[in-house]
Amino acid sequence: MAPTHDHPGEYAADDPVRLLAIRDTPLSVDEVFRAVGDDAAGGIALFVGTVRNHDGGQDVGALGYSCHPSAEDELRKVAEKVVADFPVRALAAVHRVGELAVGDLAVVVAVACPHRAEAFDACRKLIDDLKHEVPIWKHQRFSDGTEEWVGAC
């Protein structure tokens, strides 16, 4: 069945990018969830990335994120591409920089769309592209004294 334009919620909202930030303070799932609230959305997909206690078979003792000064501009480009490719009603993405502890929230993204499948697909695209295109680097220090930089979050 073809769209009839009778329901504006079937199409992207005028300004669906509601919240984009890179912060050195703790992130809030509630803030991101509230930012994507939209009466025309039937589905909200939310992804939360946390600092885990291991990577590549090694125990992580400490971890820090840093970013290039252009990171928020690149995050906006990623968000706008997701909005262009999906019927996004609302989108939010925040990433943490600085020193984090195991269990801390590193990234929270959410997308609201008219239907759940679209929301899942758009949210996956948002987090995957954020990880690959936004210049945020992870510095992991392992309990054995070794360390590594990861090119993107």
- CATH (domain of 38): 3.90.1170.40
* Within-domain flag for 19: yes
pLDDT band, very low/low/confident/very high, at 3 (cuts 50, 70, 90)? very low
How far the first Cα of the chain sits from its last, in Å, is 40
Read off the pLDDT of each residue in 66-90 and give the average, rounded to a whole number: 98
The span from the CA of 21 to the CA of 10, in Å, is 27
Say which residues have a Cβ less than 8 Å from residue 57's Cβ, sequence separation at least 6.
Answer: none
The answer to the question of residue 146 being in a domain is no
Helix axes 116-133, 71-85, angle to 10 degrees: 150
- Position 99 scores a pLDDT of 97
Whether 23 is in a domain gets the answer yes
Model pTM? 0.90
E strands, 9-50, where? 17-23, 43-50
pLDDT of amino acid 94: 98
Taking only the tens place, the pLDDT of each residue in 67-76 is 999 999 999 9
- Is residue 72, in this structure, part of any structural domain at all? yes
Check residue 62 and give its pLDDT.
87
Whether 5 is covered by a domain: the verdict is no
CB atoms within 10 A of CB 3: 9
- Please tell me the distance from the alpha carbon of residue 1 to that of residue 54, in angstroms, as a whole number: 48
Instruction: Reply yes or no on whether the pLDDT at 131 is more than 70.
Output: yes
The answer to whether position 27 is within a domain reads yes
Q: Which pLDDT score, from 0 to 100, does residue 42 have?
A: 97
The residue segments making up the domain with residue 115 are 12-50+68-133
Query: What's the structural domain count of the chain?
Result: 1
Tell me if 125 sits within 8 A of 43, measured CB to CB: no
Q: Which pLDDT score, from 0 to 100, does residue 1 have?
A: 34
In the three-class reduction of DSSP (H, G, I as helix; E, B as strand; rest coil), residue 110 is classed as strand
**Rounded CA gap, 110 and 121, in Å?**
11
- Evaluate whether residue 55 is within a structural domain: no
Residue 39 lies in a domain: yes
What are 7-44's pLDDT values in tens digits?
Answer: 665 665 679 999 999 999 999 999 999 999 999 999 99
Length of the chain as a residue count: 153
